[in-house]
């Protein structure tokens, strides 16, 4: 069994557990809905600047709801000290990181898709026009978000104040991703093609590659004791 | 291991341990709560890294060769390492795949029968009693047929039936080919099958002897003589 297939075994285990409890994705979704709804109350319909605000609302909802999910990512591993059982397995630590990353990616992407649908209804977004380019931005953003988030979730899981610590650690590092996501999706929502947001998309890709690599390298230190 | 120290922040949980154990032997380490027994098991089983000293287990030098050693090590702890939202079979399948166990389906079937859980193999672990979870954790630890077993207070929380089953499992494991290290504070259970005994107090081994050379009936007194009836960490 190869490197990636063993990582998939870990992700699959997380998905089966999540399908049974639905704790992570449901709480992320509810939180995402609430953030979008609350922003919607604060924005006057027909406001000229509405288009400027929309991407910020979407990615604020995505970020806060995503952090909620990442917080739960390693909590399941703490029950019965499962993380120790996992660390005892004769696999490279990077396999464990990738397994957890795959699981978090699937949960966060699922949340992002549903939140985007909800957003498109409330903010009157033409789905047919923007679904593909926004989908691509969502995938790239989710990769960067969960790459860093999975690492920080492992760092903070042993702490009593993990919820706060994860947000404090993650949000500053996420600034380039959220900025690039908001700017590129703003262009798309304004009717531009994806090519119009080329530089921001390039930033997302570079961020994803760098932080995924760094996180794989640092995970061993993150889970040590 | 030679001169093993393990610090948590500035607190030394293990203080300069020197231990050598031949392959195939069964060592029981006794000690009061807080003596560093669990820390010792966690260092030897590669769960945590030593702060100082030389540690070699099964020919692998730690922490450098921890990855190679893990394939040969099984751990039974008072924590079960089992996922409560998976069934018994799903838990064993998961760990079996991580250890790349051949003929996994047959192996799981055999082990579940051995630990008496085949009738509940498709029930979620969270619905199991403490004793049943511990029995399943024994099956998990034996999945990859390890050469070295570490048992950290394995009798904790077990009912009579599960304790007897664990004793039977230990008997089958103690064939002279497998090395076993068990920590416990229960003298009767600890002395039952081991070849050697040790007493650990305040992170140091203060007593070590072949089990044949000790007076079993008087061992409790030996234990208290070394630990002290008024054991305190600050003394």
In sequence order, what are the residues at sequence separation of 6 or more whose Cβ sits closer than 8 angstroms to the Cβ of residue B123? B87, B88
**A81/B46 Cβ within 8 A:** no
Q: What is the pLDDT of residue A163?
A: 82
Q: What is the pLDDT of residue A148?
A: 96
**B98/A86 Cβ within 8 A:** yes
Q: Say whether residue B6 is in contact with chain A using an 8 A CB cutoff.
A: no
In sequence order, what are the residues at sequence separation of 6 or more whose Cβ sits closer than 8 angstroms to the Cβ of residue B197? B27, B28, B29, B30, B190, B191, B207, B208, B209, B211, B214, B219
Is the pLDDT at B229 greater than 70? The verdict is no
**A80/B79 Cβ within 8 A:** yes
The C-alpha atoms of residue A35 and residue A43 are separated, in whole angstroms, by 13
Is the pLDDT at B234 greater than 60? The verdict is no
Compute CA distances B210 → A26, B25, B28, B147, whole Å. 58, 10, 10, 21
Q: Give the percent of chain A with pLDDT over 90.
A: 68
For the residues B8-26, what does the mean pLDDT come to?
Answer: 89
Per DSSP, the residues of A161-178 read THHHHHHHHHHHHHHHHH
For the residues A208-213, what does the mean pLDDT come to?
Answer: 96
Structural domain count of chain A: 1
Query: Which tens digits make up the pLDDT trace of A29-68?
Result: 999 999 999 988 887 767 777 778 889 999 999 999 999 9
* B81's tokens: 């390492």
Q: What is the pLDDT of residue A209?
A: 97
Residue of A nearest to B63 (CA): A224
Interface test with B, best of A1, A6, A74, A80 (most B CBs within 10 A): A80
Cβ-nearest to B70 among A1, A21, A88: A88
Helix (H) or strand (E) holding A184: helix A162-189
Q: What is the pLDDT of residue B169?
A: 85
The separation between CA A112 and the C-alpha centre of its own chain, rounded to angstroms, equals 8
Q: What is the pLDDT of residue B157?
A: 76
Q: What is the pLDDT of residue B186?
A: 83
Is the pLDDT at B89 greater than 70? The verdict is yes
| B73-76 vs B148-152, strand pairing mode | parallel
Q: Give the percent of chain A with pLDDT over 70.
A: 97
For the residues B78-83, what does the mean pLDDT come to?
Answer: 92
Q: What is the pLDDT of residue A42?
A: 81
Query: Which tens digits make up the pLDDT trace of B173-225?
Result: 888 889 999 998 888 888 988 999 999 998 999 999 998 888 888 888 888 88
More confident residue, B160 or A70: A70
Mean pLDDT estimate for chain A: 91
Q: Which fold has domain B2-227?
A: Rossmann fold (3.40.50)
Of the listed ranges A5-9, B1-5, B25-29, B99-103, the least confidently predicted one is B1-5
Which domain, by its residues, includes A35?
Answer: 3-223
CA distance from start to end of chain A: 28
**A84/B47 Cβ within 8 A:** yes
**How many contacts (CB atoms, under 8 Å) link A and B?**
75
**A17/B75 Cβ within 8 A:** no
Beta bridge partners of residue B6, listed in sequence order: B14
**B83/A17 Cβ within 8 A:** yes
Predicted confidence band of residue A1 (pLDDT cuts 50, 70, 90) = low
Q: What is the pLDDT of residue B233?
A: 52
Q: Say whether residue A79 is in contact with chain B using an 8 A CB cutoff.
A: yes
Q: Where are the domains of chain B?
A: 2-227
Q: What is the pLDDT of residue B235?
A: 45
A76 contacts on B by Cβ (under 8 Å)? 83, 85
Q: What is the pLDDT of residue A184?
A: 94
Is the pLDDT at B231 greater than 60? The verdict is no
**B86/A17 Cβ within 8 A:** yes
In sequence order, what are the residues at sequence separation of 6 or more whose Cβ sits closer than 8 angstroms to the Cβ of residue A206? none
For the residues A12-25, what does the mean pLDDT come to?
Answer: 93
Query: Which tens digits make up the pLDDT trace of A176-204?
Result: 999 999 999 999 988 888 888 889 999 99
């Amino acid at each position: 069994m190869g490197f990636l297939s063993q990582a998939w075994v870990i992700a699959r285990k997380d998905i089966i557990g999540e399908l049974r409890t639905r704790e992570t994705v449901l709480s992320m979704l509810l939180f995402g809905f609430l953030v979008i709804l609350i922003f919607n109350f604060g924005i006057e319909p027909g406001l000229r600047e509405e288009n400027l605000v929309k991407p910020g609302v979407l990615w604020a909802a995505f970020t806060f709801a995503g952090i909620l999910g990442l917080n739960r990512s390693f909590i399941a591993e703490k029950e019965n000290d499962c993380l120790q059982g996992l660390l005892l397995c004769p696999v490279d630590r990077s396999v464990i990181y990738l397994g957890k990353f795959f699981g978090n990616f699937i949960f966060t992407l699922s949340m992002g898709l549903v939140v985007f649908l909800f957003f498109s209804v409330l903010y009157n977004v033409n789905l047919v026009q923007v679904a593909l380019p926004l989908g691509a931005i969502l995938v790239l953003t989710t990769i960067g978000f969960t790459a860093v988030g999975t690492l920080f979730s492992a760092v903070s899981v042993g702490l009593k104040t993990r919820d706060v610590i994860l947000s404090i650690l993650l949000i500053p590092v996420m600034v380039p991703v959220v900025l690039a996501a908001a700017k590129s999706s703003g262009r798309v929502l304004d009717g531009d093609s994806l090519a119009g947001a080329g530089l921001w998309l390039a930033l997302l890709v570079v961020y994803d590659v760098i932080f995924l690599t760094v996180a794989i390298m640092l995970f061993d230190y993150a889970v040590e004791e | 291991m030679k001169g093993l120290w393990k610090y948590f922040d500035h607190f030394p949980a293990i203080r300069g341990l020197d231990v050598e154990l031949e392959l195939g032997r069964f060592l029981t380490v006794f000690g009061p709560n807080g003596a560093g027994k669990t820390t010792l098991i966690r260092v030897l089983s590669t769960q945590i890294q030593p702060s100082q000293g030389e540690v070699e287990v099964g020919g692998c030098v730690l922490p450098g060769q921890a990855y190679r050693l893990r394939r040969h090590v099984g751990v039974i702890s008072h924590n079960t390492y089992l996922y409560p939202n998976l069934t018994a079979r799903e838990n064993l399948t998961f760990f079996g795949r991580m250890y790349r166990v051949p003929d996994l389906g047959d192996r799981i079937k055999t082990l579940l029968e051995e630990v008496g859980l085949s009738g509940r193999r498709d029930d979620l672990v969270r619905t199991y009693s403490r004793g049943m979870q511990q029995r399943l954790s024994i099956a998990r630890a034996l999945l990859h047929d390890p050469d070295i077993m570490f048992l950290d207070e394995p009798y904790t929380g077990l009912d009579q039936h599960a304790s007897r089953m664990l004793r039977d499992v230990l008997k089958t494991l103690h064939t002279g080919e497998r090395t076993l290290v068990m920590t416990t504070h229960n003298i009767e259970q600890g002395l039952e099958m081991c070849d050697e005994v040790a007493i650990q107090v305040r992170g140091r081994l203060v007593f070590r002897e072949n089990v044949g050379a000790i007076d079993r009936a008087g061992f409790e007194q030996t234990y208290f003589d070394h630990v002290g009836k008024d054991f305190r960490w600050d003394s």
